[in-house]
Structure 1
Amino acid sequence: MRFLNRSAGRLSRYRRGPVAGLLLLLLGLGLTGGLYQAFSPAQAAKSDTQAMQVEKGRKLFLVGCSFCHGQNGQGISTIDGNQLGPSLVGVGAAAVDFQVGTGRMPMAQPGAQAPRKKVVYTQDEIDAMAAYVASLGPGPAVPAAKDYSVEGLTDAERQEAIVRGGQIFLTNCTACHNFDGAGGAMPRGGYAVNLHSVEPRYIYEALLTGPQNMPSFSNGNLSPEEKRDVIAYITSMRETPSYGGFTLGSLGPVAEGLFAWVVGIGGAVGFAVWIAAHSTRSTKKKAEVDA
């Protein structure tokens, strides 16, 4: 017991000595420097790369977008109070990826709705502009492939996703895009686009950001899984054949009723007129022979 007390006393004196303190200091500095060397350079390099991308996007924005949206993305209004270009603060990178990635922006001139056209920028330039707009204020990010794809699901899970997506689509989307997703006309020059040719990525971004006349469905309204299910349903409609014959553009009862009146009833009336005219000529000929 006395020996243990003497050993503990010696260790205590060594710990309080200047050499022990120096060793602990060197050990702490070495450990701190090692951790900094392991983590900080990668973060710094990533931060520098992101800053360069934002700067590149700002230059592209000033050239191609600032005329309508302002040099700082604050939006511009005309003298009579109409909006030339809306504010982009808070719209997020997803809005830029959708609008520029589908060629809707830049617009040739302001209008009721921006149509899809040939893309002007490369994907790297689009990513740079999206990074710059995202730096203006927090907003929806560009979705990853796993967010809108059902590739990792089993066949049973995929069918369940399609059924759930169909219920959501019929409740929230058919009023504008009709039951088949073929689109339709809307007031004041707007229209709902045909969804059969829209990529899943842009459908997800449209649901998230609400471009033009479309309402936005945030993750609070539709969860990411529900958005994925809607996309699964829309994709399944492209692969489903038309069992009813002529689709007539899948525009619903208006087109079908018009076809029935013009072709169906119109054809029946024309056939009846032809029969009546043919019967009259036959009677006249018979009367002339008898005379």
Structure 2
Amino acid sequence: MRKLSTRRRHPLAGIVVMLVALGVVGGVYSAVAPEPAKAETVSTQDVEAGRDLFLIGCASCHGKNAGGIETKRGGNYGPSLIGVGAAAVDFQVGTGRMPMAQMAPQAPKKDPEYTAEETRQLAAYIATLGPGPAIPDEEYTNTSGKTAEQIREGGEFFRTNCTACHNSVGAGGALPGGKYAPALDGVSAKHIAEAMITGPQQMPVFSDDVITPEDKSNIIAYIEAVQEQPNYGGMAGGGLGPVVDGLFTWIIGIGGLVIAAVWIGAHGARVKKK
């Protein structure tokens, strides 16, 4: 005991204890910390081709090194693309939102300016500039064989996290500042998954720590299931809810009755009598 007590009083004992404690803390953190985003492994040819395309079509707004270009007022022509990942490029370019035809509060969806191969090359180049979300694989996008329970769970996630902007059936809706949540009808599973993991424009990012890949797949399955449902009541009114349906009924139904009543009153038998 006397020998052990002497060693504890050694001048280096405190340093040794601190190093051991740091090692334990580092080991525990590395075991429980979420895995960081990684850049995709791509070919050199794709990266070089993507850089050439970037310099021609994107550098005027995003800068030659993709670091963004600031305006004199402190804004920017195009944000920095370092660390956005291949998924963001594939979504923005693949849906035609980039390049933008003109400055606007929000980039609208349109026909893509680049082919699928060129989009892949641009994404490959941007992925090398910094770690970011990769293009989603089948873990996110495969919705075949989903059970009714999984689709129901996807609907619960969608109504909790997405309905406020996209409507309960994905019909979209208006947002402040001239922005809007686009309709999800006809959007591919890959682009829906990319939107969730990259948060384009005003949309929040739903990382895999917030919504797991399986839950994202269930959400996509729910969106697809809703789009395939028939409108048993006839006109769906855009699926915008009972308030809008009631407004349609009031304007078209009651309005039609008022017009008919006015016409009958103006062309009735008593009106023609002198």
TM over 0.5: yes
Match of 2:211 in 1: 222
1:101 aligns with 2:90: no
Question: What do the CA deviations read for 1:71-104 (whole angstroms, capped 9, x no partner)?
Answer: 1111111111122111111110000011111111
Higher helix share: 1
| Identity score, percent | 55
- Of 68, 81, 84 in structure 2, the residue corresponding to residue 88 of structure 1 is 81
Report the equivalent of 2:247: 258
Distance 1:95 1:272, change over 3 A: same
Question: What displacement does 1:274 show?
Answer: 4.2
The aligned counterpart of 2:134 is 141
Alignment of 1:117-266 (within 5 A): 117-151=110-144, 153=145, 157-266=146-255
> Would the alpha carbon gap of residues 278 and 90 (structure 1) be closer, same or farther in structure 2, given more than 3 Å must change?
same
The correspondence for 1:61, drawn from 51, 54, 57, is 54
1:283, distance to aligned residue in structure 2 (A): 8.2
Q: Do residues 113 (structure 1) and 135 (structure 2) align?
A: no
Work out whether residues 143 and 220 of structure 2, in 8 Å CA contact, stay in contact via their aligned partners in 1. no
Q: CA–CA distance in 1 between the matches of 2:56 and 2:75?
A: 23
Deviation string, structure 1 residues 164-185 (Cα, Å, up to 9, x no partner): 1111111111111111211121
Q: 1:269 to 1:93 in 2, by over 3 A?
A: same
CA offsets, 1:232-251, max 9 Å, x none?
00000111001121112222
Distance in 2 (alpha carbons) for counterparts of 1:81 and 1:211: 21
TM-score by length of 2: 0.79
Count of aligned positions: 234
Separation (CA, whole Å) in 2 of partners of 1:246 and 1:265: 17
Asked if structure 1 preserves the Cα contact closer than 8 Å seen for 2:95 and 2:111, the reply is yes
Q: Structure 1, residues 236-286: CA drift from partner, whole Å, max 9, x if none?
A: 01110011211122223453233122112212323333454566x34875x
Structure 2 CA distance for aligned equivalents of residues 261 and 220 of structure 1: 46
In the TM superposition, what is the alpha-carbon distance from 1:148 to its structure 2 partner?
1.1
Distance (Å, rounded) in 2 between the aligned partners of 1:206 and 1:68: 22
What is the alpha-carbon distance in structure 1 between the residues aligned to residue 53 and residue 272 of structure 2?
83
Q: CA RMSD in A?
A: 2.0
- Inter-partner Cα distance in structure 1 for 2:55 and 2:168: 41
CA contact (8 A) 1:150 1:158 kept: no
The whole-number CA distance in structure 1 between the counterparts of 2:100 and 2:223 is: 28
Structure number with bigger Rg: 1
Structure 2 counterpart of 1:232, which letter? Answer: A
Q: Which amino acid aligns with 1:138?
A: P
Work out the CA distance in 2 between the residues paired with 1:274 and 1:145: 61
Distance in structure 2 (CA, Å) of the matches to 1:284 and 1:66: 75
User: 2:139–2:214: 8 Å Cα contact kept in structure 1?
Assistant: no
CA distance change for structure 1 residues 220 and 277 in 2, over 3 Å: closer, same or farther? same
